[in-house]
Structure 1
Amino acid sequence: MATFLFSIGLLIVGYIVYSKVVERVFGINDKEPTPAYSKSDGLDYVPMSWWKGSLIQLLNIAGLGPIFGAIMGALYGPVAFIWIVVGCIFAGAVHDYFSGMLSLRHNGAQYPTLVGMYLGKTVQVIINIISIILMVLVAAAFVAGPAQLIAEITPLSFMVAIFAIFAYFLCAALLPVNKVIGRIYPIFGGILIFMAVSIAVALLLTDRAIPNLTLDNLHPGELPIWPLLMVTISCGAISGFHSTQSPIIARTLKKQSDGRKVFYGAMIAEGIIALIWAAAGMTFFGGTDGLAGALNAGGPAGVVNEISTTLLGTLGGILAILGVIILPITTGDTAIRSSRMMLIELLSKGFNNKKGKGVVLFATMIVVIPAFYLSTIDYSFLWRYVGWTNQLVATVMLWTGAMYLLKNNKFHWICGVPAMFMTAVVCTYIFYAPEGLGMDYYISVVIGGFLTLFVIAWYIKKIRSYRG
C-alpha cells in the first residue's frame, strides 16, 4: 500500500513542480490572443473555460486506455508503478503539453503539420498517413466492445448497435465542438474520475493488501519488461494518440496559461487513474497469476466488471457498464473528429470551415467508412497494431518538441531525453513483437539499440548545427 500511495503523491508533486518548469521552458504570454478568438469559426475554434477543457481533454485522451492498459500492465507486477510515475511526469505530460501548446502557438495546427514545421516535409507525409491510420484503428477498435455489450443488454443486434454508434460519431465530428462534446464530455469525465476514486477508496478499506515494490516482487512474470511494459501501459504513462487530440482543445483555450492545467494536468490525472487500476489488478485477484487467469477468462472488460461489482456493489455494476460503453465511444468520436481536422489541413491547406461544410463532411466520411468496416472484424487483431503505432506517434511528437526548443535556443533536453528513451522502446518493439518482425528478443534489443544510437547521433549533429 505504501508504494501505491507514494506513487500517487509523486504524480501530484510532479504536477505542482515539474509542470511549472515545463511551462517556463516553453514560454507563455497571456497577452497574445489564442486561436479560439483570432480564428473563431463557430465549429472548432470556440472559447471554453479551462475546467471544461480539462475534463474534455481527460476524456479525449483516456477513455478505457488507463483502465484496460493498466490492468494488462499489472501482469508485470509493481514495476508498473515505476513506469506510470516516471513515464507520466517526464514523458507523457511533457508530450501532451507540447502537442497542445505548439498547436495553440501555430493557430490550432494539427499534429502532422507541427511535425512538418520542425522535422521536415518528408516526415510530415509519413506521419500524416500513420496518424490517420491510427485514428481509424482507434475508432474501429473502440466500437466493437461497446456494440457487443449493447447487444447483450438490449434488444438491439450487434450491427444495429454499430450503426447507432457511428451515427453518434458523425454528429460529434460534424457539429460545433461546444454543442455535443462541450456539453456532455465534462459529465462523462466526472464519471471517469468518480469511478477511479471509488475503486481506490474501496481498495484501501478492504483487507486486501496492495503489493509494495520490493526486490522480490519487482517483476514476478516471465515476459520481458523492456520494451513490452512501455507499450502495454501507454495511456497513463505516454501515448501518441494524445498528440492528435490536444489540438481539439488547443483551439478552445482562452489564454496560454490554461495550457498547464489542461494538457499537463489532464495527463497527471490519467496517470493517477492508471495507478489505481494497476493496483486493483495486482490486488483483487491475489497476485499476477490470479489476474492472468481472470484476463484469460473474461478479458479486461470482465476484470473491470468483477472488480467494480465486488468492491462497489450495484453502483459498481452501473459504473462498469457505463465505462465499457461510454468511455471507448467518447474516444472513438474524437478520433474521427481529429482525423477530419487533419484531412482538411492536408487536402485544403487552411480551408475556412464556415464556407466548406461539404469539405468537412467529405473529410469525415473518408475516415468513417474504413473505420466502420474495420469495426466488424476481430477487436484483438486491431488492438495489436494500435500499440506500436501509438508509441511511434508519441516518439515523433517528442522529437518535434525537442526541435522546437532547440531552434528557439531553449532547454531542449526536457523533450530530447524522453524522445531518446521512446526511440529505443519503439525500435526494439517493432523487431520483437509478433505484430512486428517477431525476431529473437536479444537480437531485437541489439538492433533497437543500434538504431537508437543512430538517432542520437542525428540529434547531436542538430545540436551542434544550431550552436554554430
Structure 2
Amino acid sequence: MVTFLLCLALLVAAYFTYGRYLERLAGADARSETPCRRLYDGVDYVPLPRWRIFLIQLLNIAGTGPIFGAILGACFGPVAFLWITFGGIFMGAMHDYLSGMMLVRNDGLSIPEVVGRYLGGGMRQFMRVFSVLLLVLVGAVFLLSPAQLLANIVPAVSCPAWVWIILAYYFVATLLPIDKIIGKVYPVFGVALVAMALGLLGALLFGGYRIPEMTTFANFQLDASSVPIVPTLFITIACGAISGFHATQSPLMARCVGNERECRSVFYGAMISESVIALIWAAVAMAFFGGAGGLSEALGEHGNSAAWAVDTISNGTLGVVGGILALLGVVAAPITSGDTAFRSARLIIADMLHIDQRSKLKRFYICIPLFAVGYGITLVDFDVVWRYFAWTNQTLATIVLWAVVVYMVRRRSNRWVALLPAVFMTFICASFVFVSGQFFGMENRTAAYLLGGAATLAVLVLMLFKLRRDDAQSLS
C-alpha cells in the first residue's frame, strides 16, 4: 500500500511542480491569440471552456489504454507502479504538454505537419502515413474492446453487432462539428471515467485489499523469459506512462483552447489524470487476484483477456450496480477515443491534401475509406492488433519527443527535459524490435540489447548533427 500511495502522491504533486516548471519553459502567454480565435470555422476550430476541453482531452487520450495496458502491465509486478509514475511525470505528461504547446503555436495543425516543421519534409511524409496507420489501428482496437465489454453486459446482442452499432456512431460523430456531440456529451463521459476510478480507489483503500509493495524487480509473467521487463513493460504500458496516440489527439483540443495558460491543465493535467487511472487499475488488478503472479495465472486461464479482467474486477469490487457503472465508464472511454481517432485521421488527410473541412461532402469522402479499413482490421485477432498498436504507439511518441527536442533548442530553452526521454524511448522501441517475437525475436538478449543500443546511438548522432546545424542557423 505504501508504494501505491507514494506513487499516487507523486503524480498529483507533479502537476503543481514539474508541470508549472514546464509551463515557464514554454513561456505560456495568456495574451497570445490561439487558433480557435484566429481560424474559427465552426467545425474544428471552435472555442470551448477549459473544464470542457480538459474532460474531452482526458477521454480522447484514455480509451482502454490506461486500463487494459495497466492490467497487462501489472503482470510484470509492482515495477509497473514505477513506470506509470515516473514515466507519466517526466515522459508522458511532458510529451503531451510541450507537443500540445507546439500544436497551439502552429495553428493547431495535425501532428505530422508540425513534426515536419521541426524534423524535415521527409519525416513529415513518413509521419503522415505512420500516424494515419496508428489512428486506424486505434479505431479498430477501440471498436473491438468496447464491443466485447458490451456483449458481456448485454449477451442478447452479439459482439459483431455491437461493432456495427459503434461504427455507425463513429461515422456520425466524426462528420459532425466538434461542439455538437463531442463538446456536449463527452464531458459527461469524462465525469463517469473519473467516478469509476474514484470508486475503485475507494474499494482499494477501504475494501481490505493488499496492494503489493515495490520490494523486488522480479518479473511475474508466466513466461518471463519471453517477455523481459526491458523493453516489454515499457511497450505494454503506453497510455498511463507515455503514448504517441496522445499527440494525434491533441490537435483537436489545440484548435479549441482559449489561451495558452489553459494548456497545462488541458495537456499536462489530462495526462497526469490518465496516469492516476492506470496506477489504480494496475493496483486493483494485482490486489484483486492476490498479487502479480495470481493476476498472470488468472489472465492465462482466460486467454489473456483484459476485458474479462475488467468485468471480473468491476463486479467483484463494486458489486453488481457499481460494477455496471464502472463498466459503462470503461466502455465510454474507448468509444470516445475511437471516434476521435478517426476524426484525427480525417484532419491529417485534410491538412495533407489541403481539403477544406467546412464541406460535409468532403468530410464524407475522407471518412469512407478510413472506416472501411478500420472495420477490416477488426476481423484480425485482437491480441495481434493490440501488440502492433502498442509498438507503433510508442514509436510515434519517440518521434514526437525528438521534434520537441528541436522545438526546445530553437526556443533556446532546456532541451534536456525532452532529450533524455527521447533517447530512452528510442532504445526501448529499437531493442523491442530485436527482442520481441513480433519482429526478430532474438534469443541472445545481450546481442539484441547491443543492436538496440547501436540503433539508438545512430539516431542520437544524427539528431546531434541536426541540433548543431539548427544552433548555427539561429546564430546567423
TM-score (norm 1): 0.96
Q: Shift of the alpha carbon at 1:320?
A: 4.0
Moved more, 389-398 or 407-416: 407-416
Structure 1 letter corresponding to 2:146? P
Find the counterpart in structure 2 of residue 373 from structure 1. 376
Structure 2 letter corresponding to 1:302? W
Question: SS of the counterpart of 2:3?
Answer: helix
Find the counterpart in structure 2 of residue 113 from structure 1. 113
* Residue 459 (1) aligns with residue 463 (2): yes
Question: SS of the counterpart of 2:275?
Answer: helix
Contact between 1:144 and 1:376, CA under 8 Å: does it hold in 2?
no
Structure 2 letter corresponding to 1:176? P
| Matching residue within 397, 400, 403 for 1:394 | 397
Structure 2 letter corresponding to 1:90? F
Contact between 1:301 and 1:324, CA under 8 Å: does it hold in 2?
no
Question: SS of the counterpart of 2:143?
Answer: helix
Moved more, 95-104 or 54-63: 95-104
Moved more, 256-265 or 273-282: 273-282
Find the counterpart in structure 2 of residue 49 from structure 1. 49
* Residue 234 (1) aligns with residue 238 (2): yes
Find the counterpart in structure 1 of residue 343 from structure 2. 337
Q: Shift of the alpha carbon at 1:2?
A: 0.7
1:228-274: CA deviations, max 9, x gaps? 11001101000000000001011000111000000000000001111
1:359-385: CA deviations, max 9, x gaps? 211111221110012123321121111
Distance 1:287 1:122 in 2: 47
Distance 1:282 1:147 in 2: 25
* Residue 250 (1) aligns with residue 254 (2): yes
Find the counterpart in structure 1 of residue 267 from structure 2. 263
Find the counterpart in structure 1 of residue 33 from structure 2. 33
Structure 2 letter corresponding to 1:212? E
Find the counterpart in structure 2 of residue 205 from structure 1. 206
Find the counterpart in structure 2 of residue 296 from structure 1. 300
Q: Shift of the alpha carbon at 1:198?
A: 0.9
Distance 1:251 1:419 in 2: 26
| Matching residue within 435, 438, 441 for 2:441 | 438
Q: Shift of the alpha carbon at 1:326?
A: 2.3
Distance 2:13 2:421 in 1: 19
Q: Shift of the alpha carbon at 1:358?
A: 2.3
Contact between 1:423 and 1:452, CA under 8 Å: does it hold in 2?
yes
Distance 1:462 1:149 in 2: 47
Question: SS of the counterpart of 1:313?
Answer: helix
Q: Shift of the alpha carbon at 1:114?
A: 0.9
Contact between 1:395 and 1:423, CA under 8 Å: does it hold in 2?
yes
* Residue 322 (1) aligns with residue 328 (2): yes
Aligned length: 464
Q: 1:324 to 1:276 in 2, by over 3 A?
A: closer
| Matching residue within 424, 436, 439 for 1:421 | 424
* Residue 88 (1) aligns with residue 88 (2): yes
Structure 2 letter corresponding to 1:309? N
Find the counterpart in structure 2 of residue 310 from structure 1. 316
Q: 1:60 to 1:207 in 2, by over 3 A?
A: same
Moved more, 305-314 or 174-183: 305-314
Q: Shift of the alpha carbon at 1:133?
A: 0.6
Structure 2 letter corresponding to 1:397? V
Contact between 2:356 and 2:362, CA under 8 Å: does it hold in 1?
no
Structure 2 letter corresponding to 1:281? A
Q: Provide the identity percentage.
A: 43
Moved more, 273-282 or 295-304: 295-304
1:14-40: CA deviations, max 9, x gaps? 111001111111112221211111111
Distance 1:31 1:100 in 2: 17
Q: Which runs of 5+ in 1 are unaligned?
A: none
Find the counterpart in structure 2 of residue 166 from structure 1. 167
Q: Which runs of 5+ in 2 are unaligned?
A: none
Q: Shift of the alpha carbon at 1:287?
A: 1.4
Structure 2 letter corresponding to 1:113? E
Distance 2:311 2:155 in 1: 18
Q: Shift of the alpha carbon at 1:415?
A: 1.1
* Residue 447 (1) aligns with residue 448 (2): no
Question: SS of the counterpart of 2:260?
Answer: coil
Question: SS of the counterpart of 1:252?
Answer: coil
* Residue 284 (1) aligns with residue 285 (2): no
Q: 1:5 to 1:150 in 2, by over 3 A?
A: closer
1:322-380: CA deviations, max 9, x gaps? 144322211110100000000001112xx4322x3322111112211100121233211
Structure 2 letter corresponding to 1:405? M
Q: 1:71 to 1:133 in 2, by over 3 A?
A: same
| Aligned positions of 1:137-176 closer than 5 A | 137-151=137-151, 153=154, 155-176=156-177
1:63-109: CA deviations, max 9, x gaps? 11111111111111111111111101110001111222111101111
Distance 2:321 2:148 in 1: 21
Contact between 2:149 and 2:307, CA under 8 Å: does it hold in 1?
no
Structure 2 letter corresponding to 1:449? G
Find the counterpart in structure 1 of residue 17 from structure 2. 17
